Structure 1
C-alpha cells in the first residue's frame, strides 16, 4: 500500500474512531487500522491533535478519555439532545453520588470509612448500583480486623464522566468542604451550592451523547 498522506491519515483515524464500538487508544490504532503502514507515534499524535482542533467548535467533538479517543456531543447540548431518547436518563440519589464522590477522591476506601465521613450507613443497594454500573469495583481488603473490602473507581467511571484520569476530577477543596458539611441527613438535603460542587460535577443525569456509526442510534453513554 502506498504511503498515506497526512490528509489520508487524518481521514483514516477519524473514520476508525467513528465506527469503533469503544474508545480507541493510540496503541489500538497502531495495532489495527494502521498496522503495517509505518506511522510513527509522533505523526499519529499530530493527526489526533489536529482532529481534536478540527472538531472543537462543532456540536460533536473528539475527546480523549481513560480508554482512548471517542466522539461525543458537546456537553452543553445534552439537555436538548436527550429529547431524542424515549426514556429519561436515570436520576441518582444524593446518597449514591456522595458515596461515589468519596470513593473517587479517597480510594481505595472501605464502606465503613465512607460511613464515618457521611455519618450514616451506606446501603447495600448503593454499593450494588455503583458496581453494576461498573463505576466502582472491589480492589482488595484492608488489613484490619474483619478485613473489609476496599473500593476504587474504574476506567468505565472515567470514561462515563469524560475524564482521562483521576487528576481531572474537580478540585479537592470542593470535596473537603462537602465532607465537613455531612453531619446529618437533613443537612445534606440543603447543602449550599458552593459546597455541593463535586456532587453536581459528578451528576450523571445529563451525560454526553456518544456518536455512533448509525446516526439514528445516538445514545446517552
Structure 2
C-alpha cells in the first residue's frame, strides 16, 4: 500500500528546515532567495513524477543541493579542478543510474558525477538496483530526476543514452552517445549484460579524463 502524502503543514515545515540547512551550507556563495527558489523548483519537479510523495521534501533538498553546486561552478564561484560527468537517459531509472553508480565506485571523489532524465520515472528500476548490488554498489537511495540548465552547463562531459533529440545540446561541451540496451522490462541476465558494458565504457572515459579507476 502506498504511503500517504504528508500533510501540507508537515511538508511546509520540512521544506523550511531544508531551506535553512541549504542556506547555512551555501553561506557566502548564494543568498537565501536563490536557495529557496531552487529548493521549491526542485520540489515542484519531483512531486510531478514521484510515486511516493512522503519523501519528496527530502529528495528536493538533495536535488537542490546538486543544482546549487552546479550553479556555483557555472558562475565561477567554485573551481576545484575535478571533471564533471553528466549521464542522461529517458527515465533516469536504469542506464544513467548504473553509469553514475559505477563512476562513483571507480573514481571516488576525484570526479563529480550527476544524472538526469528527459521523462523521469517515479522510481528506480528494481532489477537495475539488484544488478548493481551484485557488484556491492548500492544505488537504492538514488532517485529519478530531470536535468536542469545549470547542471548541463556545469558538466564537462555529457553522456547520453537513448534520449535522442530530447537531450540538451550546448556548444563547447563534450558529448558522447552510448548506444546501450534499455533495461526496462528486462530480466536480470540482460540487465547484467548492460551493466557490464556500461562499466567498460566508464573505465575508458575515466582513463581519457586522466583519472585511472581505483580497481
Establish whether TM, by shorter chain, passes 0.5: no
Bigger relative CO (Cα 8 Å, ≥ 6 apart): 1
Larger radius of gyration: 1
TM-score by length of 1: 0.24
- The two structures have a TM-score, normalised by structure 2, of 0.25
